Amino acid sequence: MKDAFGLPQSLLVLGGTSGIALATARRLIARRTRTVWLAGRPSPALESAAAELRTLGADVHTVAFDALDPGSHETVLGKVFAEGDVDTVLLAFGVLGDQAHDERDPAAAVRVAQTNYTGAVSAGLVAARALQTQGHGSLVVLSSVAGERARRSNFIYGSSKAGLDAFAQGLGDALHGTGVHVMVVRPGFVRTKMTAGLPEAPLATTPEAVATAVELGLRRRSETVWVPGVLRVVMSALRHAPRGLFRRLPV
């Protein structure tokens, strides 16, 4: 059960090896979280993430979960919710893809879209229904500023996040009044293993900063969180930039 400050006692991470998700889990464990479910494709990385969180004192379980297999989501997540209330679900899986390569390999591009968008639609709906039955809980969806306006340099990833973002906003409105809170988190460039080796964008941030913003958002029951906050203004300007100008911008 969450406390007066919106801090969860149990956390389900979809995408259990995500750097942002693990930073968030570490932060929440330091406060109140005792039970953590890390859902992801079985891998040594998933197990070592679980082991690391266990050293912080949490009771950590791993769950085999594949975003690309929506048919299994109901069963896999159903088992987690059957074990007890989940106060916060962090939907954190996603792939960046390789824009240049994916443009020439439509099958690879579709995998990005299926992971980031359709996989999230499926998992998001399954989690939302379970939370609604509980009558409480937060669904935190990791979107991206890349979804705010698609850019030449990563529009495959960007379009998938745009779809996810719109989905999560709509889901939040659909769940208004049910006790379930949906929070869309839009980080800018975050230094994680997903972005390793990429040229850093302006206003780059860290997983820890995103985790801090998530904790604050949970307390305030925010619906949209930008990290860093100034991106809200920056992206608002970029969103309204004319196409001809936007194309030429070095973003």
Partner 1 sequence: MPAETTTAITAETVSVTGWGRTAPSVARLVRPRTYAEAVSAVRECGPRGGIPRGLGRAYGDAAQNAGGAVIDLTGLDRIHVIDAGDGSVLCDAGVSLHRLMEVLLPLGWFVPVTPGTRYVTVGGAIGADVHGKNHHVSGSFTRHVLSFELLTADGTIRTVEQGTDLFDATAGGLGLTGVVLTARIRLQPVGTSLMSVDTERAADLDDLLARLTAGDQRYRYSVAWIDLLARGAATGRAVLTRGEHAPLDALPARARRTPLVFRPPRLPAVPAFLPSGLLTRTTVGLFNELWYRGAPRARTGELQSLAAFFHPLDGVPHWNRVYGRDGFVQYQFVVGHGREETLRRIVRRVSARRCPSFLAVLKRFGDADPGWLSFPRPGWTLALDIPAGLPGLGAFLDELDEEVAGAGGRVYLAKDSRLRPDLLTAMYPRLDDFRALRAELDPRGVFMSDLARRLNLQESP
207 prior amide bond cis, ω within 30: no
117 catalytic residue (yes or no): no
* DSSP for 93-114, written as a single string: ------HHHHHH-HHHHHHHHI
Residue in 112, 110, 97 with CA at minimum distance from that of residue 194 = 97
Which residue type, as a one-letter code, is found at position 212? Answer: T
SS3 42: coil
Q: Identify which of residues 129 and 232 has a Cβ nearer to partner 1 in the complex.
A: 129
Residue in 13, 63, 20 with CA at minimum distance from that of residue 213 = 20
Q: Identify which of residues 137 and 187 has a Cβ nearer to partner 1 in the complex.
A: 137
Q: How far apart are CA 50 and CA 232, in angstroms?
A: 33
Q: Identify which of residues 5 and 198 has a Cβ nearer to partner 1 in the complex.
A: 5
CB of 115 to partner 1, least distance (A): 31
CB of 83 to partner 1, least distance (A): 14
- Catalytic: which of 65, 157, 189, 226? 157
Residue in 4, 3, 8 with CA at minimum distance from that of residue 140 = 8
CB of 39 to partner 1, least distance (A): 22
Q: Identify which of residues 177 and 244 has a Cβ nearer to partner 1 in the complex.
A: 177
| CB distance 136 to 180 below 8 Å | yes
CB of 9 to partner 1, least distance (A): 7
Q: How far apart are CA 10 and CA 22, in angstroms?
A: 14
- Give residues in contact with partner 1 (CB under 8 A): 1-7, 9, 31-32, 85, 133-136, 177-179, 219-220
Q: Identify which of residues 57 and 202 has a Cβ nearer to partner 1 in the complex.
A: 57
* DSSP for 47-62, written as a single string: HHHHHHHHHTT-EEEE
CB of 135 to partner 1, least distance (A): 3
| Element containing residue 166 per DSSP (H, E) | helix 155-174
Which active-site residues does the annotation give?
157
